[in-house]
Amino acid sequence: MTRAPFFLALALGGLVAACSEPDRGAVTAAEQIAQNFSVTQEVLTNFQGVDAALRADCKRAGGSGAICSTYRINLINEGPAIGAEERDWTLYFHSVRRTLSLRNRDDFLLEHVKGDLHRLVPTDKFTGIGAGELLELDFLAEYWMQFESDFMPRLFTVDGEGTARVIESTDSDSIEALVLPINKNNPDNWKRAVADANVLATAESRYAQYSADAPAADDRWRARIIPQPLWVQTSGEPFALTTGIAVDAGPLASPSLHAFRQRLEQLQLAPTGPGAYPVRVDIDGAAFVDKTPGAYRLAVGERGAEVLGYDQAGAFYGLQSLLALVDVKSRTLARVEVEDAPRFPHRGMFLDVGRNFHSKQVVLKLLDQMAAYKLNRFHFHLSDDEGWRLEIPGLPELTEVGSQRCFDLTETRCLLPQLGSGPNSDNNGSGYFSVDDYIEIVRYAAARHIEVVPEFDMPAHARAAIVAMEARYRRLQEQDPQGAGEYRLLDPKDDTRYLSVQFYDDSYINPCLDSTYRFVGKLIREVQAMHLAAGSPLTSWHFGGDEAKNILAGNSFEDAPGSDPEKGDVVAEARQQPWSSSPQCQKLVANGGAASIEELGAYYAKRVSGLVAEAGIATMAAWHDGVKHIDDANKALATADNYVNSWEQLPWGGTEHSGHLADAGFDVVQSHSDFLYFDMPYEVDPKESGYYWASRHTPTKKTFSYAPLNTAQLAEISTNRDGNSWSATSPAAEFAERVRGIQGQLWSEVVRTDAQVEYMIFPRLLALAERAWHRADWELPLVEGQQFSAETSAVDKRALQADWRDFAAALGNKELLKLDLSGVGYRVPVPGALVENGQLLMALPYPGLDLEYFDGERWQLLADPVPAAAVKALRARSADSRRAGRAVVPELAPSTARR
């Protein structure tokens, strides 16, 4: 994964020392820096593979595969001078890139603290920083920085007394003023390498794309349901809804009826008096030949509608389809008949609240929208290295210490700051769900026919739990020495040298300790009790299992986030296998408890499956990393039902990964990172937020085009991370039987706020729901050994394009306004524009949004073509005009014809 430049902090550090003035009285240099320094960051040169000297420097400094970039931190002292003698301060900063050296100065000592936290200490060569002085610090960093969100906010200073202060100019979740344009110093800095064939998003490139994808101009969208049903027949013209919708719920369970009525209120469709449109609900499984859970029938007539569900879920989904037929802008309802059933039993959405905490309110809002579009699995990522997010009775340190971030180098009170959180206790990195919060979330989800699948990621990504249990150990060591180690997660004698993907050297729990499994068992029992209290028994346990490896490697691109297998990139430094120096693990292997140190991940999975089965939980799940050494799940695991989230990028063998998992006896939930990770940017524009180790861009259309059963066919219609073609081979037809479903993911490394959660998920969630529920005609059947690439032509691209246009028309004309009414802050797209005969033409990917231009004085609605010279900036507005999208200044080249 990408890493933000730590040089930022570096520069600041130097600045801090220099700002000191003897006449300041009690104000320290650290205070001066926090109050008076302004900071900007900029990329100098991204890796292009042509600078031999730079590659040599990178290799000498330990850069993976000699892949490095350079960047600069600018520090401006806008206060009094700081003298050379004022060095009693330290500058801390966040960086998700390994910065290897300071190239133009020797007066600062750079130190890696933990994870993405670094510090800069002035040395005796520090000469101070004068009032008004600009200090430029040039750095060599591993890999590249192609999006502005690689840089983190909230640098902070610490004085000699240990008091931490955020540099005020960086104390914002917005980095707009902190980061200079990526292409400022080189127009090709948005590229990663010479072979980068991606298309940079510009006004003209957007216009060309949007024009090619223009939604259907007819009114078929009125009867288009998202997600698309198996069968729909229009039975007449749409008619007006005058006084809302009234439901005769029949056998529908009261929690689901209440949830549906809440949805009516959101969409301003609740009955307002006599004459409301009547809807009758019934449930009769015997009336369905195909016994698919969630199936339903819907008949909409002018005098009323009837919903017949196969089961409770089917009745609920029939009501959601009724609302999908409503155009809330005109308050009309399409007249149709529907027969429908889901294609997959697992239709999931994942939310990471470990890296950055997100509120209960945004979780409940997400569950509302999942229900509206018939998603039924909420994968809740409740722990990671950077935070533990659920109260566990009997283990108070998990939340007292593990859920909080502050400046405490001993980590007895909290975890160290990470990911731009800064040192203050009130930050996006701190927070947790109480037992009552979690019960409310589970109950809320169950009413909407959504199963909550809790995940506590282990054995890697577990630092928050490790630090918390060490705090417990220290608290009890004197009063109860025997009980102190009951839930300890590390072997104190393990001195294995490793570095995780997120730059931790102490984040892997030890799988060879009995105390580890006492901890997991305790966790399972307490979470199970919460589900029972919510009236929704715990039926699935996700143990995580991802990335238990060491990036200080020498033989595999998998060990280095961002390395390129096609170019043979490797990590230059030596490593040790995790846990190889643990006496407890050496003993376990010597006694035959595990086949080898390399097999300890599988050993952990097997023991956890025993705990899950013992608790009476039917299903265990993992990321594919966690079970890669298990060849036969049916024999190895105690749980009878097991599935795996398969996330490997498709151009790097994702299709084959999924096939291997199926061959090993696992069901597969397709979760491929280059199509279904919503923390990837929407487009190739450095101003878009997102990680991009898997994909440089994941627009809504790309998710819509995903083919979960035959992912190999995507090689015909998509490119790899560098915009180049790739190839893949279809597995045997039997593979489809092991695909349980698909799932979208939102990881939160660069998603700090609830508003960013909504921006990154919506409207991509609707495309996810479409593919999870409906199999399109353009999805090809599996033919074992069939080859796909940019050179083949098996996919019906016209059918795919027509399907997208219908989807985009329904999305723009109906669903975006429903998101507005629900208070969802979806991404408003950036406009495309083109100059034609002196006039500015603009386009958007969806209808229903307003287009605006800034003429230098005010924003005006675009109704007709305007002179290009009059346009200073462009933007789009949300369907109800409450929110404006990102404004762009067009760099338009005159053209006499549309392109």
> Residue 388: beta bridge partners?
383
CB 819 within 8 Å of CB 369? yes
Closest to 67 measured CA to CA, from 98, 107, 95: 98
How far, in Å, CA of 465 to CA of 522, rounded?
A: 13
User: How much of the chain is in helix, strand and coil states, percent to nearest 5?
Assistant: 30, 20, 50
Tokens describing residue 511? 């799988």
How far, in Å, CA of 623 to CA of 601, rounded?
A: 12
To the nearest 10 degrees (0 to 180), the angle between helices 254-266 and 435-447 is 90
CB 37 within 8 Å of CB 77? yes
**Of residues 306, 547, 648, 770, which has the active-site annotation?**
547
Q: How many CB atoms lie within 10 A of CB 82?
A: 33
How far, in Å, CA of 897 to CA of 894, rounded?
A: 9
Tokens describing residue 381? 């990522």
Closest to 509 measured CA to CA, from 596, 388, 613, 393: 388
Closest to 73 measured CA to CA, from 44, 100, 53, 107: 44
Closest to 384 measured CA to CA, from 349, 344, 351, 339: 351
Closest to 874 measured CA to CA, from 816, 823, 828, 820: 828
Closest to 347 measured CA to CA, from 293, 311, 288: 293
What's the angle, vertex CA 390, arms to CA 388 and CA 391, rounded to 5?
Answer: 115
Looking at residue 350, its amino acid is F
Contacts of 286 (CB under 8 A, 6+ apart): none
Looking at residue 656, its amino acid is E
CB 814 within 8 Å of CB 327? yes
- State CA 564 to chain mean position distance: 22
Q: Where are the alpha helices (DSSP H) in 104-146?
A: none
Q: Where are the alpha helices (DSSP H) in 281-434?
A: 312-324, 360-372, 397-400
To the nearest 10 degrees (0 to 180), the angle between helices 514-533 and 600-614 is 40
- State CA 156 to chain mean position distance: 26
- Mapping DSSP onto H, E and C, the string for 724-784 reads CCCCEECCCHHHHHHEEEEEEEECCCCCCCHHHHHHHHCCHHHHHHHHHHCCCCCCCCCCC
Asked about 42 being catalytic, the answer comes back as no
Q: How many CB atoms lie within 10 A of CB 297?
A: 23
Strands across the sheet with 832-836, in order?
832-836, 839-843, 866-867
How far, in Å, CA of 252 to CA of 311, rounded?
A: 9
Cα–Cα distances (Å) from 6 to 116, 140, 222, 239, 608, in that order, read 8, 10, 51, 60, 38
Closest to 558 measured CA to CA, from 653, 485, 491: 653
How far, in Å, CA of 666 to CA of 565, rounded?
A: 27
CB 181 within 8 Å of CB 686? yes
E-state strands within 319-364: 326-327, 332-340, 346-352
The residues annotated as belonging to the active site are 547
